[in-house]
Amino acid sequence: MMAYFDPLSVILLMPLVAAVVLAAIPDYRISARVNVGASFLAFAASIGFFVVPRVSGPYFLIDDLNIVFIVLNSFVGFTTSIFSASYIAHEMETGRLTPAFLRFYHAMFQILMFGMTLALSANNIGLMWVAVELATLTTVLMVGMYRTHAAIEAAWKYFILGSVGIALALFGTILVYTAARPVVGEGPQGMVWTVLMAHVAAFDPSIMNIAFVFLLLGYGTKTGLVPLHAWLPDAHAEGPTPISAVLSGLLLNVALYALLRFKMLFAANAHVMAPGPLMAGMGLASVIFAAFMLYPRKDIKRMFAYSSIEHMGIIVFAFGMGGALANFAGLLHMVMHSLTKSAIFFTVGHIAQVKGTQKIAKIRGLTESHPLLGWGLVLGVVAIAGAPPFGIFMSEFLVVSSTFARAPWLAVPLVLGLLIAFGALLLRLHEMAFGEPEGSAAPSQASYIPLFIHLGIVLLAGILIPGAVVAWFQHVATLLG
Amino acid sequence: MTSLSFDIAHALAGALILSSFMMLYQDRLSALINLFAVQAVILSFSVAWQAFIQDAPHLYITAFIAVLFKALVIPLALHRMIVRLGIHREIETVIGIGMTMMAGMGLVALSLSLILDVASQSDPLAREDLAFALAVILLGLLMMVTRRNAVSQVVGFMSLENGLVFAATGAQGMPFVVEISVAFSILIAFIVIGIFLFRIRERFDTVDLRALDHFRGERFSPGDGPSGAALPVLDRSRGAGRGR
């Protein structure tokens, strides 16, 4: 049975092996390359999912939905590892990180990739919970890596809020098992998602209702939904920038994926309260809240962290609305947001390094002093703000138009939130990118390849999405119900 | 299931809630940690009892972990730590004890009415275990929000986690119970080591989270270079409880 190529074991085992190896390599130049190599192999293996048969066992499940997440995850993991190599080279030169920390950092990066892949490929809700916890723990350690007060505070806050979140999610998981037990029977079967899905119609709806509230609060904390978002801006602002890119681009998606799996489960039982309205409500609240919070920001990474809250809000809103079109838009928006936001963090990382500060007020005239970085930032922010012709415009347009068709009174606050955020982002962008250059004009040894690959894909998606991708997403959108 | 085993399970669950309430109003840190150890012992008895009546030997492992790790190792480490931090005499509550107790009673009533209302097909023991477990979880959460001290917040989190382990063992035949209790032990060890490490590295002179609040917002960022070393929190006197 295992005679053919098995991408799942490659993408799960590769990071673990790489973590052990990376923890042992003292020279950061070599370890950065090994990190890139391991991430590339994981990405290459994830492509293999398109050709090999689907997996559906007691522990692992590969279906059309999570292939999208896994491929996106390993692709952004790969490009981030390239960015990380040039980022840490600078950190080593300035002495902000020591070689010992770097070994730890690289090992943690791979363990994080392992945790996320495990969560995305798990067919067992208990295993999924453990994997999300693992991914959270590794990011907590990395957020606190600079050991400044602000970094430790951010890590602590993330730790406490994240722990409460996963604790609530576990209680929800236990409740789902309790509801399943009389129908499915005792033992491991009661936690296998595909088994639950097949029998969910017979579950006790009153237990399921309570379970959903706990799961939404639990995984919603990790997704960064308002009012459970307090950890997110700090964690993004204080950690190393490659981690901010992975947090925003990937880890939020993993929590979202967990929410989606449970949403599918709950939606399949007609007597349980519909999960959609709660999700849509929290999503909309996140969009509006984050849009207003974008204006007073003084720290560049913190600003983009709030922008992540806004976009996760849009995505959760779209999935909460449900239906083929809104799900399609939510899925597309999630992919576009991951690519664009990580690209922005790539530029922001280099900008903060050359300018020596993350304060927006001290970053001026980037397009003159650092044309490539400056224009990279301009393109990224224009894309994330939702201006045409980028892919985010397309997905936001689809979200808004599908909402107008079904619930116009919800579309008005949504559009308002989008416009307010648009204004805030462009205002700050104008200050940073144009005008008299300020601060250091030292050239940056940035790697621009990951940045422009991401922006290129986002631009392409805005102009023309290949038919095969559209068909795939449409198929997944119908799966999501 | 005999009524005696049912009653014993109930008594242990009630004792768990009682210890949660005692922790709610205990305003000295060392006594709070002792109470937590007591709760961990009650939990391990309760888990062992479940292992016995469910005939599920793997739950004895969970009980053993609870008693070894949560009743001995963690409390001892915390005691050492608070002595070193010089905060073993005080604890501060944000809202008064009376209010906290009222809120706690409200939460217990809420969880009982929420879960017991459920017209469950599951057997009464599992259902009532869930109600008690939810009460312990909510009381732990309440403790986390009413305390400002990092150590007592961690104690609150651990008592929340006791509720989760209780819920997991109460759900008959649930897989991964042992693994989950191990995962949580690792998580808690990380938290405790975290506080301890920060202390060793002399980044905090206080673990009072109000001092941390000082750094909220955007006043300091790693991009500002070595300014992290000269932050005003270092000037704060030792010990918790002196707000601005």
Q: Angle A70-A317-A468 (CA atoms, 0-180°, nearest 5)?
A: 45
For residue B209, what pLDDT is reported? 54
Average pLDDT (B35-55) is: 93
Q: Evaluate if residue A282 carries a pLDDT over 80.
A: yes
**Chain A contact for B208 (CB, 8 A cutoff):** no
CA dihedral (A302, A159, A132, A79) positive or negative: positive
Q: Residues 6 or more apart from A189 whose CB is under 8 A from it?
A: A195
Instruction: Answer whether B164 sits within 8 Å of A96, measured CB to CB.
Output: no
- For A135, name the nearest residue in chain B, comparing CA atoms only: B187
Cβ of A150 and B220 within 8 Å?
Answer: yes
Rounded to the nearest 10°, the torsion over CA A173, A179, A182, A184 is -60
Residue type (1 letter), A471: A
Query: What confidence score (pLDDT) does residue A315 get?
Result: 96
Do residues A8 and A62 lie in contact, with contact meaning Cβ atoms separated by under 8 Å? yes
State which H helix or E strand residue A322 sits in. Answer: none
Q: How far is CA B201 from CA A149, B86, B198, B204, in A?
A: 11, 16, 5, 8
pLDDT of residue B203: 36
CB B167 within 8 Å of CB B133? yes
Q: B178 — contact with chain A (CB < 8 Å)? A: no
Most confident of A393-397, B113-117, B202-206, B222-226: A393-397
- Closest-CA residue of chain A to B212: A153
Q: Across the interface, do A357 and B173 touch by the CB < 8 Å criterion?
A: no
Strand-pair partners of B147: B93
- Residue A230: closest C-alpha in chain B: B216
Cβ distance of A160 and B233 shorter than 8 Å? no
Q: Which residues of B touch A170 (CB under 8 A)?
A: 164, 168, 180
Nearest to A181 among B163, B172, B231 (CB): B172
Q: Say if residues B53 and B6 touch (Cβ distance below 8 Å).
A: no
Contact at CB, B173 and A186, closer than 8 angstroms: yes
pLDDT band at B122 (very low <50, low <70, confident <90, very high): low
Confidence of residue B197 (pLDDT cuts 50, 70, 90): low
CB contact (8 A) between residue B171 and residue A207:
no
Given B118, B201, B216, which is nearest A206 (Cβ)?
A: B118
Three-state DSSP at A308 gives helix
Which residues in chain B are contacts of A302 at CB distance < 8 A? 218
Q: Which letter does DSSP use for residue B219 in this model? A: S
- C-alpha A244/C-alpha A322 separation (Å) is 29
Find the mean pLDDT for residues B107-136: 81
Give chain B positions within 8 Å (CB) of A96: 222
To the nearest whole angstrom, how far is the Cα of A134 from the nearest Cα of chain B? 9
Residue A27 · residue A100 · CB < 8 Å = no
**Chain B closest-CA separation from residue A405 CA (Å):** 37
- Mutation site for B-interface testing, chosen from A123, A148, A359 by largest number of B Cβ within 10 Å: A148
Q: Are B44 and B67 in contact (CB under 8 A)?
A: yes
Give the whole-angstrom CA distance, residue A83 versus residue A81.
5
Tokens of A338: 């991951």
Count other C-beta atoms under 10 Å from residue B226's C-beta: 10
Question: For residues A176 and A174, what is the distance between their CA atoms, to the nearest angstrom?
Answer: 5
Sketch the domain layout of chain A as residue ranges. 274-481
Instruction: List, in sequence order, every beta strand (DSSP E) within chain B.
Output: none
Single-letter residue type at A122: A
Distance from CA of A141 to the nearest CA of B (A): 9
Question: Mean pLDDT of all residues in chain A?
Answer: 90
Q: Are A268 and A308 in contact (CB under 8 A)?
A: no
Contact A137 B176 (CB under 8 A): no
- Residue A263: C-alpha distances to residues A71, A319, B164 (Å): 22, 9, 23
A49 pLDDT higher than 90: no
- The crossing angle, in degrees rounded to 10, of helices A467-480 and A324-355 is 110
Nearest to B120 among A133, A148, A207 (CB): A207
- The type of residue at A342 is S
Stretch B13-38: mean pLDDT: 91
The pLDDT score that the predictor gives to residue B119 is 53
Q: Do B218 and A298 touch (CB under 8 A)?
A: yes
The predicted complex's ipTM stands at: 0.83
Measured between alpha carbons, how far is A476 from A66 in angstroms, rounded to an integer?
Answer: 9
pLDDT at A342: 94
Tokens of B172: 């008959």
pLDDT for residue A262: 94
Query: Is residue B28 classed as helix, strand or coil in its secondary structure?
Result: coil
Higher pLDDT pick, B27 / A198: A198
Q: How far apart are the first and last CA of chain A?
A: 33
Q: What number is the average pLDDT over the span B43-66?
A: 90
- Given CB atoms, is B193 within the 8 Å cutoff of chain A? no
> Quick count: other Cβ atoms within 10 Å of Cβ A194?
13
* B189 contact A CB<8A: no
Which residue in this structure is represented by tokens 């608070």?
A: B82
- pLDDT band per the 50, 70, 90 thresholds, residue A239: confident
- The pLDDT value recorded for residue B196 is 65
Q: Count contacts between A and B (CB, < 8 Å).
A: 149
Average pLDDT over residues A37-56: 88
Burial of A464 (0-12, 13-18, 19+ CB in 10 A): exposed
Which residues in chain B have their CB less than 8 angstroms from residue A159's CB?
A: 190-191, 194
Which amino acid would we find at residue B162?
Answer: N
**Average per-residue pLDDT for chain B:** 76
pLDDT at residue B99, as a whole number: 87
For chain B, what percent of residues have pLDDT higher than 90?
27
Q: Hey, is the C-beta of B225 within 8 angstroms of any chain A C-beta? A: yes
Residue of A178, A241, A440 to mutate, testing the B interface (most B Cβ within 10 Å of its Cβ): A178
Query: Residue A3 — very low, low, confident or very high, per pLDDT cuts 50/70/90?
Result: very low
Cβ contact, residue pair A160, B157, below 8 Å: yes
Buried b (16+ CB within 10 A) or exposed e, B85-96: bebbeebbbeee
3-state secondary structure of B208: strand
Strands A55-56 and A61-62: antiparallel
Q: How far apart are CA B244 and CA B232, in angstroms?
A: 13
CB-closest option in A137, A170, A182 to B164: A170
C-alpha span between A92 and A100 (Å, rounded)? 11
SS (H, E, C) A45-91: HHHHHHCCCCEECCCEEECHHHHHHHHHHHHHHHHHHHHHHHHHHHH
CA dist list (Å): A414 to A317, A410, A411, B81: 9, 6, 5, 49
Check residues A86 and B27 and name the one with the higher pLDDT. Answer: A86
Of B119, B174, B228, the CB nearest to A206: B119
Q: pLDDT tens-digit profile of A328-353?
A: 999 999 999 999 999 999 999 999 98
* Average pLDDT estimate for A195-201: 91
Per-residue pLDDT band for B210 (boundaries 50, 70, 90) equals low
Mean pLDDT of all residues in B120-141 = 82
Residue B173 pLDDT grade (very low, low, confident, very high; cuts 50, 70, 90): confident
For residue A471, the tally of other CB atoms under 10 A from its CB is 10
pLDDT at position B92: 64
A164 class by beta-carbon count within 10 Å (0-12 exposed, 13-18 middle, 19+ buried): buried
A175–B118 C-beta distance less than 8 A: no
- DSSP class of B44: H
For residue A358, pLDDT over 80 is answered with yes
